[in-house]
């Protein structure tokens, strides 16, 4: 279920590299949130450089054009799960995709069981299918 | 008010077909949530195929490139209204747009009255205008 | 922290005009929500005209193709801060960018401290860094 939007600067990655980034992101989501392997919903938006503004809230974090903004919509998760996701994702993207941990921003929005329909017009968290 | 993002694979539908899909989606929103006829805010994002990953959470739902992901932001709605929306939308899109009910994913995020301004810099749910 | 998506009709503004719009939006965010100057996360999506449908909920507001839809994700804010943001933003965009106040729609979604990681895989609102 988590529905994830990934915002990137265009022209920085090949199709293969974007796919590898999505695969890595998904593996970390499975590990941190314990979702099923096929619980994968990812949408990539690529933008001209000046259409994606990412500063640092005064934290002294330097960004590059490789910056990745990950926006997650999910049912409620524990604080520990969220922190594990942030940490695991930064580590995995650095290892797998050579992404600097400075270039990763994550934001989560929470909804609930009744807010999802995965197909057939049914709310599978309510019907007992999930 | 519901603000709706619709994510599609590019090159699968003509402009007319997308418009018909949006019209159908809006009619179902009006029917299920009881919003005014002109309470319509829709944003379409089209993506290269490999930039939109939609699996099935292990439900055994087969997707095609016609898949439609509908992300709704709305004031709170009853569970019954949401279920009516999912069911009605799947049925209407199949009938009107030949969309397989397997190719429809819906996610809802809830906000509140004070979270909307429809123009003029005013929060119309608070001012009594709505 | 507020993460802001800005949806526009394509071909209506130069790169400079979009940048000026983003600068103006950010200044109003700083003023209304009291966020740090570098607490700036903005993503612009531009759309073909018929992919962005913005009506008026029956309020009698006339839109043009200059319409701007602002979707904010933020930690909780007071109602007064939100109303100040709507009003200040409409005024500033009219003054700075010649945007008609009728052409501004704003929606806010709320999340919490644990829902943000600004880099390094850490949740800076939890670690004490922010």
Instruction: State residue A27 phi and psi, 5-degree precision.
Output: -60, -40
Tens digits of residue pLDDT in B76-107: 999 999 999 999 999 999 999 999 999 999 99
Domain count, chain C: 1
The Cα C111–Cα C116 span in angstroms is 9
Half-sphere exposure of residue B68, counting CA atoms within 13 Å on the CB side? 30
The Cα B31–Cα B37 span in angstroms is 10
Min Cα–Cα distance to chain B from A119, Å: 5
Of C84, C68, C69, nearest to C35 (Cα)?
C84
Q: Which of C1, C37, C123 sits opposite A83 (nearest CB)?
A: C123
What band does C78 get if pLDDT is binned at 50, 70 and 90? very high
The Cα C46–Cα B90 span in angstroms is 28
**Residue of chain B with shortest Cα separation from C100:** B120
Tens digits of residue pLDDT in B12-46: 999 999 999 999 999 999 999 999 999 999 999 99
Looking only at the bridges linking them, the beta strands covering A116-117 and A104-110 are: unpaired
Count helices and strands (H / E) in chain C.
3, 6
Which H or E run includes B7? strand B3-9
Q: Taking a C-beta distance cutoff of 8 angstroms, is the pair A25, A42 a contact?
A: yes
Which residues have a Cβ under 8 Å from the Cβ of B59 and sit 6 or more positions away? A118, A119, A124, A129, A130
The Cα C93–Cα C28 span in angstroms is 9
> Where do runs of H (alpha helix) occur along A1-130?
15-33, 79-97, 124-127
> Number of A:C CB contacts under 8 A?
112
Q: To the nearest whole number, what is the mean pLDDT of chain A?
A: 98
Tens digits of residue pLDDT in C109-129: 999 999 999 999 999 999 999
Min Cα–Cα distance to chain B from C96, Å: 15
Residue C59 in contact with partner chain B when CB distance is under 8 A: yes
A1 has a pLDDT exceeding 90: no
Q: How many CB atoms lie within 10 A of CB A101?
A: 18
Tens digits of residue pLDDT in A48-106: 999 999 999 999 999 999 999 999 999 999 999 999 999 999 999 999 999 999 999 99
Angle between helices B15-33 and B79-97 (to 10 degrees): 150
| Angle formed at CA C49 by CA C45 and CA B34, multiple of 5 degrees | 90
Are the Cβ atoms of A52 and C43 closer than 8 angstroms?
A: yes
Q: Which of C35, C115, C119 sits opposite A101 (nearest CB)?
A: C119
C13 has a pLDDT exceeding 90: yes
C34 has a pLDDT exceeding 90: yes
Are the Cβ atoms of A55 and C44 closer than 8 angstroms?
A: no
Residue B107 in contact with partner chain A when CB distance is under 8 A: yes
Are the Cβ atoms of C56 and B22 closer than 8 angstroms?
A: no
Residue C79 in contact with partner chain B when CB distance is under 8 A: yes
The Cα C87–Cα C68 span in angstroms is 15
Min Cα–Cα distance to chain B from C81, Å: 10
C1 has a pLDDT exceeding 90: no
Are the Cβ atoms of A73 and B69 closer than 8 angstroms?
A: no
> Where do runs of H (alpha helix) occur along chain B?
15-33, 79-97, 124-127
Which structural domain range is residue A119 located in?
3-127
B33, B121, B122, best to mutate vs chain C, most C CBs in 10 Å: B121
Are the Cβ atoms of A50 and C15 closer than 8 angstroms?
A: yes
Residues in chain C within 8 Å Cβ distance of A86: 117, 121-123
Instruction: State residue C41 phi and psi, 5-degree precision.
Output: -140, 105
Residues in chain A within 8 Å Cβ distance of B103: 119
Residue C56 in contact with partner chain B when CB distance is under 8 A: yes
Residue C61 in contact with partner chain B when CB distance is under 8 A: yes
Residue A106 in contact with partner chain C when CB distance is under 8 A: yes
Residue B95 in contact with partner chain A when CB distance is under 8 A: no
Min Cα–Cα distance to chain C from A58, Å: 6
CATH of the domain at C61: 3.30.429.10
The Cα A124–Cα A32 span in angstroms is 22
Tens digits of residue pLDDT in B43-64: 999 999 999 999 999 999 999 9
Is 0.95 topped by the overall pTM?
Answer: yes
Are the Cβ atoms of A36 and B58 closer than 8 angstroms?
A: yes
Min Cα–Cα distance to chain B from A60, Å: 31
Region C91-97: what's the mean pLDDT? 98
């Amino acid at each position: 279920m988590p529905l994830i939007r990934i915002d990137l600067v265009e022209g920085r990655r090949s199709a293969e590299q974007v796919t590898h980034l999505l695969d890595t992101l998904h593996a970390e989501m499975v590990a941190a949130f314990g979702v099923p392997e096929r619980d994968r919903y990812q949408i990539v938006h690529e933008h001209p450089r000046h259409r994606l503004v990412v500063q640092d809230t005064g934290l002294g974090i330097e960004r590059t054009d490789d910056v990745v903004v990950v926006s997650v919509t999910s049912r409620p998760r524990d604080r520990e799960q969220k922190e594990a996701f942030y940490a695991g994702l930064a580590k995995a993207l650095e290892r797998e995709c050579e992404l600097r941990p400075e270039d990763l921003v994550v934001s989560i929005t929470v909804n609930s069981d009744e807010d999802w329909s995965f197909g057939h017009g049914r709310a599978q968290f309510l019907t007992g299918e999930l």
